Amino acid sequence: MEKKKNLSEYNTEQVPDIQGKKVAIITAEWNFEITSAMERACVEVLLQHGFCTENIIKYYAAGSYELPFMANEVAKSGKFDAVVCIGCIIQGETRHFDFIAQATANGIMRVGLKTGIPVVFGVLTTNNMQQAMDRAGGKHGNKGTEAAVACLKLLDFLEHK
Ligand code: RBF
- Structure confidence by residue, pLDDT tens digits, 102-123: 999 999 999 999 999 999 999 9
Q: What is the pTM of this model?
A: 0.95
CATH of range 29-160; options 1.10.1060.10, 3.40.710.10, 3.40.50.300, 3.40.50.960? 3.40.50.960
C-alpha 115/C-alpha 6 separation (Å) is 32
Query: Closest Cα to atom 11, ligand 1: which residue?
Result: 96
User: In angstroms, what CA-CA distances link 102 with 23, 53, 64, 89, 113?
Assistant: 25, 32, 11, 11, 17
C-alpha 32/C-alpha 55 separation (Å) is 23
Segments of the chain assigned E as strands: 23-28, 56-61, 82-90, 119-126, 136-138, 141-142
Ligand 1 pocket check: which of 29, 36, 64, 85 to mutate, most ligand atoms within 8 Å of Cβ? 64
Q: Is the pLDDT of residue 1 over 50?
A: no
